[in-house]
Amino acid sequence: MTAATITTPADEAAQAEAAYLAAETEAVAADEAAEHLAERVREGDDSVTPEQLDTAQKAGKFARLRAEAAQRKARKAAERAEQARRRTLTEQAVTLLDKQSAPATVADAYETARRALAALVAAVDRHDDTVTEAACLLAQADAPPSIRYERVEHGGGYATQEPRPATASRTAPTVSYDAHGHPLALSVDTGKSRSPLHSGSVLGTLLADVTAASQPRTPMGETEFMRRPITEQAHQHGDRVRAFLTDATKGAAA
């Protein structure tokens, strides 16, 4: 038993277009035949009868009407095929969305990341506060600076003062100062400085690392994400992102 052939709207449109082209060809041939007889009459050919000319002209008109009918049918078939194509694509999009889009998953990941980042910022702040406090204590204890300057001879009587790390240990630490003379960093091991990290720098580095690893898409009409300040991103997109997360959380709880 032969399986039934399924004809799609696209197949029907193609068949209707082919039928129209064939009908158009027949109409052109009939028009040309009628015009050929009419031209013979104009040239004085007495062998052409009125009945022959009338029959040819009527045949041409009828063939033209059939071609127009085939054209309308082809247009309607093309419209149905286009509607079917759009329906198919719409169904595919909705099905894809239902199967693979998970707003709640994004919301959960966001909350996990938010808590982790909050913990990271708190840890960095504690580190920075500890380093600053320790540096201030060492400054009060008149700890020597972490950088010493050593005279370096270059020949010809020319010499410069070159910076070198001062010897440091846990029992004899050193301190670095900023341009205003405030304690900035410290060292309990020669050449290894401990200074504040600053949470903004840590977050920026983290996002840069994530960006380099995942190569995120560039938002349409915008410059590359990591080239824009984080605060600008939050200001521009924060309301939309938070609204999305709120809706996703509500949807998961419903």
More confident residue, 232 or 35: 35
pLDDT in tens, 169-224: 888 999 988 888 888 888 888 878 888 888 888 887 787 677 666 665 555 445 55
3-state class (DSSP) for residue 182: coil
The phi, psi pair for 251, rounded to 5°, reads: -65, -35
Domain ranges of the chain: 9-99, 103-121+198-253, 132-194
What's the pLDDT at 233? 65
Closest CA to 51 of 63, 34, 30: 34
User: What's the rounded mean pLDDT across residues 116-133?
Assistant: 93
User: What is the pTM assigned to this prediction?
Assistant: 0.58
Query: Which residue type, as a one-letter code, is found at position 133?
Result: E
pLDDT in tens, 69-95: 999 999 999 999 999 999 999 999 999
Query: Which residue type, as a one-letter code, is found at position 126?
Result: R
Mark out the alpha helices in the chain (DSSP H runs): 9-42, 50-100, 103-140, 199-214, 230-253
Residues 6+ apart with CB under 8 A from 160: 151, 152, 154
